Structure 1
Amino acid sequence: MKPKVLILDVDGVMTDGKFYYNIDGKYLKAFGPDDSDALGILDKLIEVRFVTGDKKGFEISKKRIVHDMGYKLDLVSTINRLEWMKDRYNLDDVIFIGDGFFDYIALKEVGYSIVTGNGDVNSKKYANYITKRSGGDRAVAEAVIHILDKFFEGFNYNKKISSDDISGEWSK
């Protein structure tokens, strides 16, 4: 299998999975460090896109994922993600990173599946790889290194990184 797309859940994968509310409603999500940088290496090799089922926090996720990081983001219910993926991709070409209770629906069908270290115990049953790190705490960066090692030429820690090697805000 040579993957063509990486699809990531936002909440619990890119974030710590917590929703912060005040009297006015949902106002904050905590995104972790390094994940965007690592994705900037991988997106030179395969398509990277995101899904979220969080309607109330969609604008927060959109600000980080679309506006700040420059990736596609779709609002897709956790129970409809498998059908959404089937409509767009050959499932054998998909790597999916999830964490949630219903993510097992897609995790067990895609070509390669990854679950964060703090992900749901049932979803972990269907993971090809489980990160040691938690969502929002460099789990995606860890997963990217794993993907590079497993499917591509790996990450060369001895190579000097230039702006040609990565995309994103730190490449400029």
Structure 2
Amino acid sequence: MKNNPKCFILDVDGVMTTGHFLYSADGKQMKIFGPDDNDGLALLNPHIEIRFITGDRKGFPISNKRIKEDMKFDLDLVSTIKRVEWIKERYDPKEVIYMGDGIFDHYVMNEVGYSIAPANSDRVAKESADFVTERTGGDRAVAEACLHIMSEFFNAYEPDKLPADQLDQGE
């Protein structure tokens, strides 16, 4: 990445979640979000803009509750096949770090400055990513990615130097 990253854009399903959709007779009811990811994002947040995108229209209220209302990050509904254009309308793609897992995410990964895929991503996404986490989506992959970004582009996380008020202890 030639330029310093300005924005970290994350897909929701399969990255922040396990990628599973839990249905009842009434439709999509739940998604499984993993532990520690919000803490990792809290460490990274002072250094870079963080925002989320999802193509899951029917599950948007669930993602909105977790990402926007609880975690206080921006969330946009963006089709999986329109993400490159969406990013180009808002950012210099070379200043973007993108984290995705799906069958179309390699298109985005090939356009941005740096890309990350969880361990359980689509094969082509993992081959296109600059970094592949050891953890899977919904199981601390985002926290791992945040620590990687800190050490790669900013200052490595040093637990002994963390201000006590930096993390939200309510997680």
Q: TM-score, normalised by structure 1?
A: 0.95
Within the candidate set 138, 156, 159, 1:154 is matched to: 156
Alignment match, 1:20: 22
8 Å CA contact retained: 1:14, 1:140: yes
Within the candidate set 124, 127, 138, 1:125 is matched to: 127
1:142 aligns with 2:136: no
Cα distance per residue 1:71-101 (max 9 Å; x no partner) = 0000001110010000000011100000011
**SS at 2:19 equivalent:** coil
Whole-angstrom CA distance in 2 between matches of 1:170 and 1:102: 36
Alignment match, 2:37: 35
Within the candidate set 61, 64, 81, 2:63 is matched to: 61
8 Å CA contact retained: 1:19, 1:28: yes
Cα distance per residue 1:12-68 (max 9 Å; x no partner) = 000000001010000000000000011011111100000000000000000000000
**SS at 2:81 equivalent:** helix
The count of corresponding residues between Structure 1 and Structure 2 is 169
- Partner amino acid, structure 1, of 2:169: W
Alignment match, 2:9: 7
Alignment match, 1:78: 80
Whole-angstrom CA distance in 1 between matches of 2:43 and 2:144: 12
1:96 aligns with 2:95: no
Whole-angstrom CA distance in 2 between matches of 1:57 and 1:44: 29
Whole-angstrom CA distance in 1 between matches of 2:110 and 2:88: 13
**SS at 1:29 equivalent:** strand
Where does structure 1 differ by over 6 angstroms across 4 or more consecutive aligned residues?
Answer: none
Change in Cα spacing, 1:84 to 1:160, as seen in structure 2 (3 Å) is closer
Whole-angstrom CA distance in 2 between matches of 1:50 and 1:112: 16
Whole-angstrom CA distance in 2 between matches of 1:24 and 1:160: 45
Q: Give the fraction of aligned pairs with identical amino acids, expressed as a percent.
A: 53
Whole-angstrom CA distance in 2 between matches of 1:107 and 1:67: 28
Higher strand share: 2
- Partner amino acid, structure 2, of 1:38: G
| Per-residue deviation, 1:160 | 4.1
Q: CA RMSD in A?
A: 1.3
**SS at 1:30 equivalent:** strand
| Per-residue deviation, 1:158 | 2.3
Q: TM-score, normalised by structure 2?
A: 0.96
Alignment match, 1:170: 169
| Per-residue deviation, 1:171 | 7.1
Whole-angstrom CA distance in 2 between matches of 1:91 and 1:43: 19
Whole-angstrom CA distance in 2 between matches of 1:170 and 1:2: 30
